Structure 1
Amino acid sequence: MKRKICIAALILLNFTGCKKFLDEKPISNLIEQTYYENTEQVETGVIACYDGLQKVYDIEFKLTEIRADNTSGVSLEGDWGAIKFFRDAPSNFFLLDYWQRAYNTIARCNLVLKYINNVSDPVKKRNFEGEAKFIRSLMYFNLVRLYGDVPLLTESIKFDDFEKFKRISKAEIYTQIKKDLLTSVDYCPASWPTAQVARVTKGASQALLANVYLTLKEYENAKLQLIPLLGTNFKGGTYALNPSYAAIFSITSEMSKEILFAVRYKASANGEGNSFSYEYSNNGDARNVKASAPYQTLFETSDVRKATTFNAANGLCTKFLDATAPQRDAGNDFPVIRFADVLLMYAEASNELLAAPNNDVLGPLNEVRARAVASQYITLNTKEAAREAIFKERKLEFGFENSRWYDLVRMDQANTISTLNGYLTATGNPNITVPAFRLIFPIPQSEIDLSKGNLKQNPGYN
C-alpha cells in the first residue's frame, strides 16, 4: 500500500498539486477524461486521496497538540507561539497550510467521485466510492471542528467559481458528513488483503461516524455504530486492544488489531515518510512542545502509557520514534482511529444516556485502564463523575495523537475555557485568558482575499 501511494502520487502530480485551494487552476478536461477512463486509472485517483491524508496528518499536530492542555510551550515564538498562547491571527501560516492540504485532499476525492461511473467492476466501484467519501468526510470533520463554518465542495469546481467559496453552516456540513459516512459504511469491505491493509473498512467508517454522532450529542446513534465493533464483554473481535501499548506505535508492529484506520508512512521512499516525529524531537522545530508538568502528574506510577508517551527527563514525545530514519522522513504510521477510542466512545455515549453509570460505562473504561496497568474504577456514582473520568482517560490514552484539542472543543464551552485558563496559569502563563471565539481558528486571510469577498472571517478575528 505504501509503495502504491508513491506511484499514484507521481501519476497525479501533473494535475493535483498542493496549490492554494482558492487559487487552483482548472484541470484539463482532456487530461481527466483521457486518464480516468477505466477501473485501474480511477483506482490511482483513490490512492492519491490517501496520499493527500499523508500531507494533512504530517502537520495536524500544529493546530491540535500545540493548542491543547497536555503540552507546554516554553520559548515558542512566531506562528508556533501564536497557536500555543491563543494569539493566532488570520495571517498565521500554519492555519493556511492545513487548510490548503485538507482542501487539496477533498479535491482529490471529488475527482474520483466525478469519474466513479468509469469503473466497470461493480464491487470496486462501491469500494472506491466508500473510500473517497470516508476520506472527504474525515477532512470536513476536522475542518469544521477547527474553523467552524467552511466552504462545502462535493464536486470538482473551476478555479474562478468564487460563489462556491462561501462558508456553509456547520449543521449543513455535518449533514453531508453523515450522509457520506453512511454510504461508506455500506460500501467499504470488512477487510482488505494484507498488501492493502491501510484502506478504509466498514469498521473504520462505523467508528468515524460514531465520533461524528458523539460530537453532535446523538448518543444513541453513536452506540448503534459502535456495538458491532465491541466484541464480547468489550474484549473485541475483529478489532481488539493490543496487549502492549508501546507496540501500537512501533514501526515493527504497525496495523495491529487495535488499528481501525491509520495514515501510513514509509521512510526513505521518495517522500512517503513523515516529518512530525522529527519535529517532536530535541532537534525539531517543535522541540519546545513537551508534555506539560500537570499532564505528567496525571499518570499513575504503574501506568505503562507514561513511558511510551513522553520522556520523563525532558517531556519530549516518545510515541513516534524511528531512530534509523533520515530527518523528516520517518516511517511511523499515524493512528487515526484505535480500538481504545471505540471503547471510550461507547462508555461516553452510554453514560450520557443513563441516569447513573453502569457496566456499559465502567466495563469499556476499565478495559482501557487494565491494558495500561492503571487502577480500576470500582464505581462512579454520578453521570458527571463518569464524564470527567472518561475525558481524563482519553487525555491519558491519546497523548500526542491530536485528540485532546478535539475533545476540548466538544466539551461544555464554559468547562473548556475554565480548563484552558487553569492550564495556562499552571504552566506559567496566568496573564493569558481564552475568549470563547478562539475555540475555533480564524479563516486564513489569503483565502478570504482570493475568494473575492465570498469567504467571510470568523467573529472576533476581524
Structure 2
Amino acid sequence: MKKIFFLSTISAVALMTACKKDLNQVPISTSTTATFYLQPSDFLQASNAIYADLHNYPNRLQNLSEIRSDNIYGVSVTVRDWDPINDFSPSLPANAYVTEAWTTDFNGIFRANTLLDQLAKNGSLVGSATLATRLQAEAKFLRAFFYFDLVRYFGKLPIIDHPVSAAEANTISRSPVADVYKLITSDLQFAIANLPGSYTGVDVGRATKYSAEALLAEAYMAKSGPTYGIEGPGLASNEWNLALPLLQDIITNGGFVFNPNYANIFAYTNQGPAVNKESVFDVIYTSGISGTSDLYGASYPWNLTPNGYFLSLKDTKSNGSLEIIPVSPDLASSYAATDVRKAATIYTAGYTNAGSTENRPFFKKWLDVSKLSSVLSRFDWGIDYIAIRYTDVLMMKAECILHGAPGSQSDVDAIVNQVRTRAGLPSITGVTLPQLFDERRREFADEGLRWFDLQRSGNLLTIMNAWIAKDDAQKAIKPAIANYIIYPVPQREIDTTPGLYTQNPGY
C-alpha cells in the first residue's frame, strides 16, 4: 500500500511547487490549477499532496514539544537550533523549527483549500459523487489537523478557508483562538459524517471517521484546558463531555486493539493501520526508493539520536543530531526498575566514538539499528509515525472522566492499570489527574505529546520550573513563564506585511 500511495503523490507535489511556503503567496497559480484538475486521478493526486505536508510532522513534535518539555535537557556545547527551544529563550522568532511549523502547516492548508475549491467547482470530473465527498472530507480533516497543530503552537492565527491571492493574504490578520476552533470543529464534524471507518487496498492509511473523532476529541480537550492568562490553545471551555462520546465511539466501534506488548507497537514488522491495531492515524513512510528517499522515507527516527552513536556503529550514511540531545535525568530516573517502557524508549548503554565516551541517555523508540544496512540515507527510514494511538484514546477518556464527564473512578483506574500492567507495574487505585499525566509522560515519551499534556494539565509552569531547579546543572534555562507556553509568530511573517500581525507577548 505505502509505495503505491506515495508514488502517486509525486506529480501532484511537482505541480504544487507554485505553492508558497509563506502566508503571502498564492498556493497554486491560476493557470496550473485550471490545467491540472481534469480527471479523477488528478483529484486523488491533489489529495495525496496534502498528506505529503505531514512528512515533517513527527520531527516537529520532537523539536517543539519534546525538546521544550521536561523530557529533554538539551544544553549543547555549540549553540544549536534546539537550545533556545529548550532554554526558553525570547529570541525565537527567527528559529528554524518555529518557522518550519508555520510554513509547512500553512502550505498544507493552502493545498487543502485548493482541492476543496476545485471539488466545489469541478467535482463532477471526479466521476463519483461518493469519492468526491470523501475527498472533500479528507481535505477538511487535514485542514483541521494543520490548524490544530498551529493553534497549539502559536495561539491566534489567520483563518484562510479558501484559495487567496497574495494581495488578499496580505490583508488577513490573526483571528481569536475561539474562531480557529470553530473552523477546526466544523471541518472535523463534516469529516466524521463523511469518512469511512476503514479502507482497503491502496487507500489504507487515509483519514477515517475514527481518526477525525479522535482529533476532534483532542481539540475539545485542548480548548478545555486553562488559559494561563494568554491567548493560547486553552480557553477553559469545559467541553470534556463533548470529547468523551467521540472517544467512546472509537473504543466501542473502531476495531482497535490494545497491544499487550509495548515494544511491538513501534516495531518495523508491525506497520500501518491494517496491521498495527494501536494505530488510529499514521503518517506513512516508505524506504528504499532510490533518488527520492527524502520524499518518502522518514528522518524522525534519528532526529533525537546523536550522530556520534551512529559513528560508533561505523555507520556514515544515517547521521543523527549534531550533538547529543539527552533525555532529562528526571525522566530517565522516573521509570520503575520493572517498567519495560524505559528499555523500549531510551538508550542507556553509552557509546564510544573517536576515543570519547558518552553515557548520557537519549531517545531511540523509533530506531532499529538492524535496518542501517538497508536505508539509503538518513532520510530513508521506513517506519510509520503513529500520530494518534489507541492507548492515547483510552487515556484521554480517563482524563475526561476525571474532569467530570460521565464515568466512574473505577473506569479511570481500569484504563490506567491496563497501561501499567503492560509496562510491568503493579495496579493502583484512586488515580488522580496528576498521576494520570505522570503515567502519560512515560507512556508517550518520544511521541511528541508532553508539551501539550503540560499545557492541558494546568500545572505547566509549576512542573517546568520545579524541573529546571532540579535538572538544570548548567543554569542555562530561563524560568518558564506563561508567555512561553506558545511560540512567537515567525519573524519573516511579521516583516512581510508590517503591522498585519502583532507578535505574541514575551518575544
Instruction: Report the TM-score, using the length of structure 1 for normalisation.
Output: 0.92
State the partner residue of 2:203.
Answer: 196
State the partner residue of 2:36.
Answer: 35
Question: 1:129 & 1:237 partners in 2: Cα distance?
Answer: 22
Asked if residue 149 in structure 1 is aligned to residue 152 in structure 2, the reply is no
1:256-314 CA deviation, whole Å, 9 max, x = no partner? 11100010111232121111212222202265222211101221222111111111234
One-letter amino acid of the structure 2 residue matched with residue 89 of structure 1? L
Question: 2:179 & 2:37 partners in 1: Cα distance?
Answer: 30
State the partner residue of 1:81.
Answer: 83
Of residues 235, 238, 255, the one that matches 1:238 is: 255
Question: 2:168 & 2:198 partners in 1: Cα distance?
Answer: 39
Question: 2:391 & 2:210 partners in 1: Cα distance?
Answer: 14
Q: How far 1:356 sits from its partner (Å)?
A: 9.8
8 Å contact from structure 2 (residues 27, 107) kept in 1: no
Asked if residue 281 in structure 1 is aligned to residue 305 in structure 2, the reply is yes
Question: 2:184 & 2:407 partners in 1: Cα distance?
Answer: 31
Of residues 379, 389, 405, the one that matches 1:338 is: 389
State the partner residue of 1:395.
Answer: 441
One-letter amino acid of the structure 1 residue matched with residue 111 of structure 2? R
8 Å contact from structure 2 (residues 49, 111) kept in 1: yes
Of residues 248, 268, 271, the one that matches 2:288 is: 268
State the partner residue of 2:54.
Answer: 53
State the partner residue of 1:227.
Answer: 248
Question: 1:131 & 1:13 partners in 2: Cα distance?
Answer: 21
Q: How far 1:12 sits from its partner (Å)?
A: 3.0
Of residues 467, 472, 478, the one that matches 1:432 is: 478
Q: How far 1:164 sits from its partner (Å)?
A: 4.5
Q: How far 1:332 sits from its partner (Å)?
A: 1.6
Of residues 420, 424, 439, the one that matches 2:464 is: 420
Cα 1:135–1:286 shift into 2, 3 Å: farther
One-letter amino acid of the structure 2 residue matched with residue 223 of structure 1? L
**Larger deviation, residues 303-312 vs 17-26:** 17-26
Cα 1:416–1:210 shift into 2, 3 Å: same
Question: 2:482 & 2:421 partners in 1: Cα distance?
Answer: 37
1:331-372 CA deviation, whole Å, 9 max, x = no partner? 121111011011000001011116995222112222222222
One-letter amino acid of the structure 2 residue matched with residue 84 of structure 1? N
Question: 2:261 & 2:134 partners in 1: Cα distance?
Answer: 32
Question: 1:312 & 1:26 partners in 2: Cα distance?
Answer: 45
8 Å contact from structure 1 (residues 22, 450) kept in 2: no
Asked if residue 307 in structure 1 is aligned to residue 350 in structure 2, the reply is no
Cα 1:288–1:207 shift into 2, 3 Å: same
Question: 1:304 & 1:113 partners in 2: Cα distance?
Answer: 45
Structure-to-structure mapping, 1:376-391, within 5 angstroms: 376-377=427-428, 379-380=429-430, 386-391=432-437
Question: 1:11 & 1:356 partners in 2: Cα distance?
Answer: 47
Question: 1:225 & 1:130 partners in 2: Cα distance?
Answer: 17
Question: 1:79 & 1:136 partners in 2: Cα distance?
Answer: 28
State the partner residue of 2:188.
Answer: 181
8 Å contact from structure 2 (residues 259, 278) kept in 1: yes
Asked if residue 458 in structure 1 is aligned to residue 504 in structure 2, the reply is yes
One-letter amino acid of the structure 1 residue matched with residue 139 of structure 2? A
8 Å contact from structure 2 (residues 346, 361) kept in 1: yes
1:20-70 CA deviation, whole Å, 9 max, x = no partner? 323435633232122113322111111111111113333332111110111
One-letter amino acid of the structure 2 residue matched with residue 435 of structure 1? I
8 Å contact from structure 1 (residues 246, 305) kept in 2: yes
8 Å contact from structure 2 (residues 69, 451) kept in 1: yes
Q: How far 1:386 sits from its partner (Å)?
A: 1.1
Question: 1:80 & 1:220 partners in 2: Cα distance?
Answer: 37
Q: How far 1:113 sits from its partner (Å)?
A: 0.6
Of residues 431, 437, 448, the one that matches 2:494 is: 448
Question: 2:460 & 2:408 partners in 1: Cα distance?
Answer: 23
State the partner residue of 1:318.
Answer: 364
1:205-250 CA deviation, whole Å, 9 max, x = no partner? 111111111122211111110111223xxxx860111222111111
Of residues 101, 107, 112, the one that matches 2:110 is: 107
SS of equivalent residue, structure 1 residue 353: coil
SS of equivalent residue, structure 1 residue 262: strand
One-letter amino acid of the structure 2 residue matched with residue 243 of structure 1? P
Cα 1:387–1:26 shift into 2, 3 Å: closer
Question: 1:10 & 1:251 partners in 2: Cα distance?
Answer: 28
Cα 1:137–1:25 shift into 2, 3 Å: closer
8 Å contact from structure 1 (residues 22, 165) kept in 2: no
8 Å contact from structure 1 (residues 2, 272) kept in 2: no
Question: 1:420 & 1:321 partners in 2: Cα distance?
Answer: 28
Question: 1:9 & 1:399 partners in 2: Cα distance?
Answer: 33
Asked if residue 5 in structure 1 is aligned to residue 6 in structure 2, the reply is yes
8 Å contact from structure 2 (residues 141, 207) kept in 1: yes
Q: Which runs of 5+ in 2 are unaligned?
A: 225-238, 308-319, 350-359
Percentage of identical aligned residues: 32
8 Å contact from structure 1 (residues 204, 261) kept in 2: yes
Cα 1:124–1:447 shift into 2, 3 Å: same
One-letter amino acid of the structure 2 residue matched with residue 65 of structure 1? E
Q: Which runs of 5+ in 1 are unaligned?
A: none
Q: How far 1:194 sits from its partner (Å)?
A: 4.0
Instruction: Report the TM-score, using the length of structure 2 for normalisation.
Output: 0.84
Question: 1:401 & 1:26 partners in 2: Cα distance?
Answer: 31
Structure-to-structure mapping, 1:124-135, within 5 angstroms: 124-135=131-142
Q: How far 1:387 sits from its partner (Å)?
A: 0.4
Structure-to-structure mapping, 1:158-177, within 5 angstroms: 158-177=165-184
Across the aligned residues of Structure 1 and Structure 2, the Cα RMSD in angstroms comes to: 2.0
8 Å contact from structure 1 (residues 49, 105) kept in 2: yes
Cα 1:354–1:274 shift into 2, 3 Å: closer
Length, aligned pairs only: 450
Question: 2:188 & 2:405 partners in 1: Cα distance?
Answer: 27
**Larger deviation, residues 190-199 vs 52-61:** 52-61
SS of equivalent residue, structure 2 residue 158: coil
